[in-house]
Amino acid sequence: MRVLRPRRLPADRWRWAAAHLPIACVDVLPVVRGADGAVTHVGLIRRESPFGEVWCHVGGRQERLESVRDAAVRTLGETLHPLDEVVAADEPYLVQEYFPDVRPGAGVDPRKHAVAVCFTADVPAGRALSPRGEATAFAWFPVDALPPAATTWPGTLRMVGRAVAPAGPDDLATYESLSAREVSLNELMWQTPALAMTAMAFLLTIALGAGAAWQRALAAALSAVVAVTSAQLLAKHSAGAIADADALHEIEARRGMRQVHAPPAPRAPVSLRREGPWAWFASKRSRRWWFGSLLLFGAVSGALTFAAVAEAVLHLL
C-alpha cells in the first residue's frame, strides 16, 4: 500500500485556510532539569513576529498525516541544532490556543487562530544550541529570571509556567482562595471609611452642639477613637489586599497566565494645567486620601476633646 507523505498546502490555499480555519500547530520548549527532575532553565529563541523581535518558544505547523510528536521533533530540528542527546517528550503537557484578539488564558497571533500542542524537549545541562530557520538567536533563561512579558510572544510565558510548575487541583484551589480573599479585603477596605464617617458625623454633631462640656468632650473623644481605629483597619485591609494581589500576580507570572493582578505601572505626573482637575484627581491613590482624611478627622476630634475638657475644668474652677 502506498503511504502518502506529509505535505503542506500551497501558499494560496494556506492563506485561505489561515483566514477561515483553526490551524493545528506544535510548540516545543527546550528545558534543562535538575537532579530532582524539576525544570531549572528554559531555552527561548529570538525571532521576528507581528509584535516586533521577541523571545519565543520553538513552534510551527503540523503537516498532513504527521503525528504531533513527529511534528515537534521536525520543528525543533528546523529551528535549532545540534540535537544529539536532545529528547522530546513522548506526550504533550499542554494544549494552548492562539487567537487574533486577546482572550484570558490564551496566546495571541494576529494572523490566525491556532491550536498548539505543547511539548518539552530535555537538553543536557551546559549544552549550547545554535539557531537557524526563523530563529535569529537562542538563549537559556533560569526559571526565576525570565525575560519581561513585553519582550516575549504572548502565550510563551504561560507555556513556560506550566512546564516549570504544572497546574494541579491544589494549585488552582490556592489561586481561587487567594482571589476570593483579595476581593473580600478590597470590599472591606472601602466599607471602613464609609461606616466611620457615618459614626463620626453623629458624634461630631454632639461635640459641636450646645450640650454640656463633658458631653461634648466624650463625643469628641469617641470620634477621635473611631477615626484612628478606622484608619488602622483601613490600612490593615489595604495591606492584606495588596499582599494577596502580589501573591496572585506571582502565580500568574510563573504560569504565564494573564496578569490581571500586576502592580500599577508607574505613571507620569498629571498636570492640572494640561489635563484638568478630573484627570489630576483620578491619578491619585484613593486609599491614601481616605487614610489621610481619617487621621485628619481624628486630629480635629482630639482638638475638640481638649477644648471641651478645658472648658469643663474652667467651669469647675
Report the amino acid identity of residue 102: V
Ordered alpha helix ranges (H), 84-208:
156-164, 169-207
Q: Is residue 290 part of a domain?
A: yes
Ordered alpha helix ranges (H), the chain:
11-20, 68-79, 156-164, 169-207, 213-255, 272-275, 277-282, 286-316
Q: Is residue 184 part of a domain?
A: yes
Q: Is residue 261 part of a domain?
A: yes
Given a contact cutoff of 8 angstroms between Cβ atoms, the answer to whether 122 and 76 are in contact is no
- Do β-strands 80-81 and 87-88 pair in parallel, antiparallel, or remain unpaired? unpaired
Q: Is residue 283 part of a domain?
A: yes
Residues 122 and 257 in one domain: no
Cell of 45: 529563541
Residues 150 and 30 in one domain: yes
Does the pLDDT value for residue 278 go beyond 80? Answer: no
Domain membership of residue 178 as a residue range: 169-316
d(CA 118, CA 293) in angstroms, rounded, equals 53
Q: Is residue 5 part of a domain?
A: no
pLDDT score, position 100: 95
What are the angstrom distances between the C-alpha of 9 and each of 64, 189, 237? Answer: 9, 58, 58
Q: Is residue 46 part of a domain?
A: yes
- Total count of domains within the chain: 2
Residues 160 and 173 in one domain: no
pLDDT score, position 1: 42
Does the pLDDT value for residue 228 go beyond 80? Answer: yes
Boundary-marking domain end, from 114, 137, 164: 164
For 90, residues 6+ apart whose C-beta sits below 8 A from its C-beta are 69
What are the angstrom distances between the C-alpha of 269 and each of 54, 202, 266, 279? Answer: 30, 38, 9, 10
- pLDDT, tens digit, 9 for 90 and up, residues 61-109: 999 889 999 999 999 999 999 999 899 999 999 999 999 998 888 999 9
